[in-house]
Structure 1
Amino acid sequence: MSESVQLIPGNSLITATPQEGRELAIKMARLTIRVTQPDDEIRGKLRGIYAEDAAMLIAVGQTVATEFATIAAANNYWR
């Protein structure tokens, strides 16, 4: 990584609510994409491609779901 990116914002998976956990999962997924493709211009060009590809959109959803499952477990499923 050429620039330092904090992949776990605040260095914690602990959130007060499932809603905050879901928001953190989305943010973490976006950060992963940013680190994988650090060029803003290229990411902008690619957005138009995956925005119209159902398989790619499903893959994004799966990535967020995986992040959310990890966050939920870290929060003892908010019990």
Structure 2
Amino acid sequence: MTTTLIPNNTLMTETPEEGRALAVKLSRLIIKATQPDEEARNKMRGVYANDPAMLISIGQVVATEFATIAAANNYWRK
């Protein structure tokens, strides 16, 4: 099974809120692509859910994805 890493094959969104939601989705998809075993991912949740440094790292991944999406959308300037 392959994972689609860019839903609908586009980074274009109508609003920054949609862009942020897409950033979260892309971040989740890269974790799934990196560790395709669902059981293994579920076992690791307890580890990162209780580690502040890991949670901050997750936020950094989302922020990087959001910056990419914002640039692709010309920062929603119309």
RMSD: 0.5
TM-score, normalising length: structure 1: 0.96
Provide the identity percentage: 66
1:39 is displaced (CA, Å) by 0.6
What is the SS of the residue equivalent to 1:13? Answer: coil
Map of 1:28 onto structure 2:
26
Q: Quick check: 1:15 aligned with 2:39?
A: no
Map of 1:65 onto structure 2:
63
1:4 is displaced (CA, Å) by 1.4
* Distance (Å, rounded) in 2 between the aligned partners of 1:59 and 1:6: 23
1:44 is displaced (CA, Å) by 0.5
Runs of 4+ with deviation above 3 angstroms: none
* Distance (Å, rounded) in 2 between the aligned partners of 1:35 and 1:66: 17
TM-score, normalising length: structure 2: 0.97
* Distance (Å, rounded) in 2 between the aligned partners of 1:15 and 1:47: 29
Q: How many aligned positions are there?
A: 77
Structure 1, unaligned stretches of length 5 or more? Answer: none
What is the SS of the residue equivalent to 2:36? Answer: coil
